[in-house]
């Protein structure tokens, strides 16, 4: 898989951008639960008051609060006393107006303490010192609690003092008490407060600050609304950044994946073009098509998600876990552990079950493509032999095998999401159950529980993403290996290194020499050709004839190096073909193959296949020589008439003549006609060879033929039998001296016709 990913280097800038954006998105997503917690805990429950430190407090309330503080001077050092808000300097007046007091109420604001400009750390330290005093202040300010304390006091005082105490507020009573008596009275309440959970004390202290604000004529609703609005806008801003990052990531990931797919298809296609017939026989056409399409598509789909899983999921997973363990109550962290273990068990089980089927799936896809291609190509033969039912059964078997494997894999994969959703919902129930109890007992705030749920979902989703990619990865890995098999296959036929490359000898232009040539197909046990020796000279026509399987087409396939000779030498223009570049070699050869293959396009594009800039005059001349103009001129669009893929919309003879015209239009040094004239009638064959002889006076012509009539006038005829040359000469010489040639000739024509 890593070998395939190296092709991402072309899009490294986009990859870096994706990684940066993923980090930004992960960071913003991890911060969103914090804002939820703040809005619920601080904005709703605490009225927008973030910390248990009153930033403004009336002088009367401050005096009462200081009754419960040991070091009064330390507390007062953090505040400034403002006796008349109208007379305060502009700096403090702006602070009062912006945050606490309506402008109309400013004149009525007298004798207040305003907190100084202190750091957040100093505020936190101050809050620790004020938590207990604020709770005690809140207790005596509460009417019900105050009446209970007064009731206890009345039970222990003389009758004459009861009337006085009954009409006094508890605050005034405590203020007028001797310090020793006051400490004794409040000691019991202090013990109860100290035994409370910190979260409960903090909440109660914040509520006490809210009451202090009300006593100072501050609109607490404005504080709450402002806090919720500001925090909500911050949350929306963070969510917007996350959204922009996510959209950008998907856009860039799609482009990177598409670019990788394009690069891989180019690499595979270019590699296949460099393959000799040996490599093409090792990879079936159907398999190469599957590797170029389906396999690359699997990798492309994986890449689209891969960055998110490699970068985003770990940050979210571990970041969320860290937030849970450090930022909120971690008493329920064990639930996350249970969720992760359950998810991993499900994924590993499915991985073990489904993994062996992935390679089989791709192999069966190859097989189905191969069967489909063979049947569609051979439809005429299938119809001619009435074997439609047989081929339907063959296709149905390949199709059914693929279907069964697909069903197995899809069933295994389809089980994953319901099982994982069951785990998620079960975990959610656990969180709500235990979190609800913690909230009830004051161990956790509602906002913290909501944040915990969000973090839990993020952590679980991170592992879900990893699990999904773990399912995609095996199939993509199989596809990557199949692609690498193609890319890493070294062609058997290679160009020589620059230092060993030779140039053609212009004094031997067009000369083709076979010197003791032997050849066997890869993995074959016996030689197909043995000790082949002959020379095809420019200005002459060399014909090759022999029975079926004697090696005629194999000889002509050696000339353009579709295969390399096993032993001996093949020289073109006086140079061994192994010592020249394939491109240079094939540039001087014009081949008309046995099967006239045409490409989709027009008649013009097919004839001009060797040179798109070829003149129309040259194209027309080639068509005239190939005897193709007689049917081209009857077409409505002449040379612009459409040719379907493979030339299936023209007859075999027409296809062959266009193929011959294509070779003639190239105007090469060496013409090779591999049984090209067999699809032509005798009259057309005769005219074509007559016209061809006019333009090949200084060129080498090699003709492979089955019909004796085609080669009667050849300058030399090479007779093959079972891969060996059994005779070389003219028609007359061979008729007199070569029994093999004589038998072939007499099987086609009478003695008189041959003379």
Domain count within the chain: 1
Least Cα distance to 64 among 214, 176, 200, 152 occurs for 176
Partners of 716 in beta bridges: 542
Q: Supply the pLDDT for residue 437.
A: 77
Q: Give the whole-number percent of the chain exceeding pLDDT 70.
A: 85
Per-residue confidence band for 236, with pLDDT thresholds at 50, 70 and 90: very high
Q: Who contacts 333 (Cβ-Cβ below 8 Å, separation ≥6)? A: 321, 324, 325
| 383 vs 591, more confident | 591
Per-residue confidence band for 238, with pLDDT thresholds at 50, 70 and 90: very high
Structure tokens at 584: 């240079």
| 598 vs 171, more confident | 598
What is the overall mean pLDDT for the chain?
A: 80
Structure tokens at 73: 């001077």
Q: Which of 5-14, 107-116, 307-316 has the lowest mean pLDDT?
A: 107-116
Buried b or exposed e, range 232-263, using 16+ CB within 10 angstroms: eeebeebeebbeebbebbeebbeebbebbbeb
Whether the pLDDT of residue 174 is over 70: the answer is: no
Q: Supply the pLDDT for residue 241.
A: 93
- What does DSSP assign to residue 85? G
- CATH code: domain of residue 207: 1.20.1560.10
Q: Supply the pLDDT for residue 244.
A: 93
Per-residue confidence band for 156, with pLDDT thresholds at 50, 70 and 90: low
Structure tokens at 11: 């899009």
In a domain, 293, yes or no: yes
Q: Supply the pLDDT for residue 106.
A: 46
Q: Supply the pLDDT for residue 192.
A: 58
Q: Which of 3-7, 27-31, 549-553, 586-590 has the lowest mean pLDDT?
A: 3-7
| 24 vs 216, more confident | 24
Q: Who contacts 219 (Cβ-Cβ below 8 Å, separation ≥6)? A: 102
Q: Supply the pLDDT for residue 103.
A: 46
Q: Supply the pLDDT for residue 690.
A: 84
| 467 vs 481, more confident | 481
Whole-angstrom distance, CA of residue 240 vs CA of residue 229 = 16
Average pLDDT value for residue range 733-737: 86
Least Cα distance to 193 among 138, 271, 257, 248 occurs for 138
The answer to whether 205 and 52 are in contact (CB under 8 A) is: yes
CA 693 vs. chain centroid, Å, equals: 58
User: How confident is the model over 681-723, as pLDDT tens digits?
Assistant: 788 888 888 888 888 888 899 988 888 888 888 889 999 988 8
Q: Supply the pLDDT for residue 125.
A: 86
In a domain, 706, yes or no: no
DSSP string, 414-446: HHHHHHHHHHHHHHHHHHHHHHHHHHHTTSS-H
Partners of 387 in beta bridges: none
The answer to whether 659 and 593 are in contact (CB under 8 A) is: yes
In a domain, 59, yes or no: yes
- What does DSSP assign to residue 555? H
Q: Which of 48-62, 79-93, 702-716 has the lowest mean pLDDT?
A: 79-93
Per-residue confidence band for 104, with pLDDT thresholds at 50, 70 and 90: very low
Whole-angstrom distance, CA of residue 51 vs CA of residue 546 = 103
Whether the pLDDT of residue 240 is over 90: the answer is: yes
Average pLDDT value for residue range 316-331: 73
Q: Give the whole-number percent of the chain exceeding pLDDT 90.
A: 4
DSSP string, 372-387: HHHHHHTHHHHHHTT-
Whether the pLDDT of residue 276 is over 80: the answer is: no
Whole-angstrom distance, CA of residue 390 vs CA of residue 218 = 92
Q: Supply the pLDDT for residue 243.
A: 93
Whole-angstrom distance, CA of residue 736 vs CA of residue 744 = 13
- For 216-312, where are the alpha helices, taking DSSP H only? 220-274, 277-282, 285-290, 296-307
Rounded (5°) CA angle 515-520-525: 140
Q: How many CB atoms lie within 10 A of CB 615?
A: 11
Of the segments 160-169, 483-492, 667-676, which one has the largest average pLDDT value? 667-676
The answer to whether 11 and 168 are in contact (CB under 8 A) is: no
Whole-angstrom distance, CA of residue 356 vs CA of residue 397 = 21
The answer to whether 589 and 580 are in contact (CB under 8 A) is: no
Q: In what order do the strands lie in the sheet with 541-546?
A: 589-592, 670-674, 700-704, 541-546, 716-721, 724-729
User: How confident is the model over 572-610, as pLDDT tens digits?
Assistant: 988 998 888 888 888 888 888 888 788 888 888 888 888
Whether the pLDDT of residue 27 is over 80: the answer is: yes
User: How confident is the model over 299-322, as pLDDT tens digits?
Assistant: 888 887 777 777 888 888 787 777
In a domain, 311, yes or no: yes
Least Cα distance to 626 among 670, 666, 661, 674 occurs for 661
- What does DSSP assign to residue 572? E
In a domain, 590, yes or no: no
In a domain, 65, yes or no: yes
User: How confident is the model over 392-439, as pLDDT tens digits?
Assistant: 888 898 889 888 888 887 777 777 778 877 887 888 888 888 777 777
In a domain, 508, yes or no: no
Q: Supply the pLDDT for residue 523.
A: 73
In a domain, 27, yes or no: yes
Q: Classify strands 601-602 and 567-572 as parallel, antiparallel or unpaired.
A: unpaired
Structure tokens at 97: 């107006």
Residue 52 structural domain: 1-78+118-492
DSSP string, 681-737: -HHHHHHHHHHHHHH-TTSEEEEE-S-HHHHTT-SEEEEEETTEEEEEE-HHHHHHH
Q: Which of 2-6, 124-128, 373-377 has the lowest mean pLDDT?
A: 2-6
Span between the terminal Cα atoms of the chain, in Å: 69
Tokens 């006796």 -> residue: 83
């Amino acid at each position: 898989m890593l070998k395939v990913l190296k092709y991402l280097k072309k899009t490294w800038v986009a990859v870096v951008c994706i990684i940066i954006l993923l980090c930004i998105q992960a960071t913003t997503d991890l911060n969103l639960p914090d804002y939820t917690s703040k809005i619920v805990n601080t904005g709703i429950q605490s009225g927008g008051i973030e910390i248990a430190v009153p930033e403004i407090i009336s002088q009367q309330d401050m005096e009462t609060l200081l009754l419960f503080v040991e070091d009064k001077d330390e507390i007062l050092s953090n505040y400034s006393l403002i006796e008349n808000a109208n007379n305060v300097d502009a700096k403090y007046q702006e602070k009062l107006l912006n945050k606490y007091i309506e402008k109309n109420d400013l004149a009525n604001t007298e004798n207040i303490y305003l907190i100084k400009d202190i750091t957040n750390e100093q505020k936190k330290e101050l809050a620790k010192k004020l938590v207990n005093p604020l709770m005690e202040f809140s207790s005596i300010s509460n009417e019900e609690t105050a009446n209970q304390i007064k009731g206890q006091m009345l039970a222990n005082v003389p009758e004459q003092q009861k009337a006085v105490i009954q009409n006094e507020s508890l605050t005034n009573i405590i203020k007028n008490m001797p310090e020793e008596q006051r400490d004794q009275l409040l000691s019991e309440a202090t013990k109860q407060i100290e035994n409370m959970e910190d979260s409960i004390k903090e909440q109660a202290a914040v509520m006490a600050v809210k009451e202090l604000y009300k006593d100072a004529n501050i609109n607490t609703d404005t504080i709450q609304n402002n806090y919720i609005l500001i925090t909500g806008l911050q949350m929306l801003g963070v969510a917007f950044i996350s959204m922009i990052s996510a959209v950008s990531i998907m856009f860039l990931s799609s482009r990177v994946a598409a670019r990788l797919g394009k690069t891989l298809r180019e690499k595979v296609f270019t590699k296949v073009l460099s393959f000799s017939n040996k490599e093409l026989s090792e990879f079936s056409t159907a398999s190469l098509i599957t590797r170029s399409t389906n396999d690359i598509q699997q990798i492309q789909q994986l890449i689209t998600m891969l960055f998110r899983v490699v970068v985003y999921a770990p940050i979210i997973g571990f970041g969320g876990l860290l937030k849970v363990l450090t930022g909120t109550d971690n008493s329920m962290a064990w639930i996350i552990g249970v969720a992760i273990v359950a998810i991993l068990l499900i994924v590993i089980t499915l991985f073990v079950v489904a993994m062996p089927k992935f390679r089989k799936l791709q192999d069966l896809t190859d097989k189905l493509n191969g069967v489909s291609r063979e049947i569609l190509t051979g439809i005429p033969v299938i119809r001619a032999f009435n074997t439609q039912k047989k081929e339907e059964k063959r296709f149905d078997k390949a199709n059914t095998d693929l279907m069964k494997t697909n069903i197995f894999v899809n069933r295994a994969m389809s089980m994953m999401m319901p099982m994982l959703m069951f785990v998620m919902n079960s975990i959610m129930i656990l969180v709500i159950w235990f979190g609800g109890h913690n909230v009830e007992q004051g161990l956790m705030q509602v906002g913290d529980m909501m944040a915990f749920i969000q973090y839990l979902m993020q952590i679980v989703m991170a592992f879900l993403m990893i699990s999904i990619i773990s399912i995609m990865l095996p199939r993509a890995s199989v596809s990557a290996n199949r692609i690498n098999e193609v890319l890493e296959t070294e062609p058997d036929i290679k160009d020589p290194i620059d230092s060993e490359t030779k140039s053609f000898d212009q004094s031997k232009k067009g000369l083709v020499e076979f010197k003791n040539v032997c050849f066997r197909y890869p993995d074959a046990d016996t030689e197909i050709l043995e000790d082949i020796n002959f020379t095809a000279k420019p200005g002459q026509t060399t014909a090759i004839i022999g029975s079926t399987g004697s090696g005629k087409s194999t000889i002509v396939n050696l000339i353009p190096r579709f295969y390399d000779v096993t032993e001996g030498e093949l020289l073109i223009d006086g140079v061994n073909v192994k010592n020249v570049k394939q491109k240079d070699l094939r540039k001087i050869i014009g081949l008309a193959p046995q099967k006239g293959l045409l490409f989709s396009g027009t008649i013009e594009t097919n004839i001009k296949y060797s040179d798109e800039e070829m003149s129309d005059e040259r194209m027309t001349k080639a068509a005239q020589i190939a005897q193709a103009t007689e049917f081209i001129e009857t077409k409505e669009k002449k040379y612009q008439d459409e040719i379907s893929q493979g030339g299936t919309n023209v007859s075999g003879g027409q296809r062959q003549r266009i193929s011959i015209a294509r070779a003639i239009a190239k105007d090469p040094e060496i013409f090779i006609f591999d049984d090209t004239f067999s699809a032509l009638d005798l009259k057309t064959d005769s005219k074509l060879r007559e016209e061809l002889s006019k333009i090949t006076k200084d060129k080498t012509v090699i003709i492979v033929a089955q019909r004796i009539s085609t080669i009667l006038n050849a300058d030399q005829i090479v007779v093959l039998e079972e891969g060996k040359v059994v005779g070389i000469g003219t028609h007359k010489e061979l008729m007199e001296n070569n029994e093999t040639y004589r038998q072939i000739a007499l099987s086609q024509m009478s003695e008189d016709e041959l003379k």
